[in-house]
Amino acid sequence: MRIPPYLLAAFGLLLAACSSATSDAAPDTTVATTAVPTTAPTTTALDVVTTIRRVPSPELASVGHVTVGSVQYDFAFECWAAGAGDILALGVGTDPQSDAETQAIVQAFFGQAYVSVLVGDDRVIELAIDQPADLFVQADTIRGSALRFVDAQGAAGVGESLGLGTVTVECDGFAPGLPEGYDIS
């Protein structure tokens, strides 16, 4: 199973964001990144395979969850204040069904809502691109409801429907700007 390069790159940024937030790593912290170049007839991409066993720095740790159908994924998030009310939250957690590591991206930018959960190394859950999705930020909390999620295997926002879900991230603190290399274009 091949995960789209753009999503792997985003999760690579999650690794960089969590590891650069603090220089004090917990003794059991393990962070590994592998970059594998791939080529296609007209493009060249970098697949970034990321493993994270670390929560955000204590001063920036926030709690939240993404619910997809009847499954709730809990995360420790790090929130970024991107400006003009735009918030990015990057999280790590554990799948409640398989105990696999999970990673989340919650992007609450005006007109650019995005939510993605990577379960283990091969399952990508994303907002469906054919349905409207809104995330709201109020009192440092990101919320979204009636969000349609898909099992996006191979194409961004396209795949088998997983049903409706919600997102809640309670940001207790913010890092300024965006993580280095995070591209919103």
Say yes or no to pLDDT of 29 above 50.
Answer: no
Task: Write down the domain spans for the chain.
Answer: 53-176
Top pLDDT among 136 and 184 is at 136
Pairing of strands 101-109, 112-119: antiparallel
Tokens representing residue 29 in the block? 């912290």
Give percent of the chain above pLDDT 90. 51
Q: In this predicted structure, what is the pLDDT of residue 88?
A: 95
Give percent of the chain above pLDDT 70. 65
Instruction: Answer for the pair 162, 125: CB distance below 8 angstroms, yes or no.
Output: yes
For 39, 53, 86, 91, 174, the CA distances from 83, given in Å and listed in that order, are: 35, 29, 5, 20, 11
| Residue 61 pLDDT level (bands cut at 50, 70, 90) | confident
Mean pLDDT of the chain: 75
Determine the residue type at 68.
V
DSSP codes, 55-82: PPPTTTEEEEEEEETTEEEEEEEEEEEE
Give me the helices (H) in 21-152, please.
Answer: none
Determine the residue type at 95.
D
Average pLDDT of the residues in 21-33: 32
Question: Cα–Cα distance between 18 and 68 in angstroms, integer?
Answer: 24
For 18, 41, 52, 79, the CA distances from 178, given in Å and listed in that order, are: 12, 32, 19, 9
Question: Cα–Cα distance between 80 and 71 in angstroms, integer?
Answer: 26
Instruction: Answer for the pair 180, 21: CB distance below 8 angstroms, yes or no.
Output: no
Tokens representing residue 35 in the block? 């970059």
The total of other beta-carbon atoms located within 10 Å of residue 4's CB is 17
Condensed to tens digits (0 to 9), the pLDDT of residues 151-175 reads: 987 666 678 999 999 999 999 999 9
Domain 53-176 sits in CATH 2.40.128: yes
Q: In this predicted structure, what is the pLDDT of residue 121?
A: 87
Condensed to tens digits (0 to 9), the pLDDT of residues 69-115 reads: 999 999 999 999 998 889 999 999 999 999 999 999 999 998 899 99
